């Protein structure tokens, strides 16, 4: 149980994580569609 609590405490707050993602997207103006991202992930697994 202690290990689970330590792992849980190490995870970022979900709201903070979403704020960081939104800010990063705004700054980089990334418009990569999900399909393209999945293609890259699949290619990396081969």
pTM over 0.75: no
**How far apart (Å, rounded) are the C-alpha atoms in residues 38 and 44?**
10
Give me the sign of the Cα torsion angle 14, 16, 18, 20: negative
Distance CA 33, CA 35 (A): 5
Residue that has been written with the tokens 């979403």 in this structure: 18
Q: What is the pLDDT of residues 1-46, one digit of tens each?
A: 899 989 888 888 999 999 998 998 889 887 888 899 899 888 877 6
């Amino acid at each position: 149980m202690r290990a689970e609590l330590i792992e849980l405490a190490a995870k970022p707050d979900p709201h903070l994580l979403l704020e960081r993602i939104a800010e990063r997207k705004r700054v980089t103006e990334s418009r990569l569609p999900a399909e393209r991202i999945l293609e890259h992930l699949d290619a990396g697994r081969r």
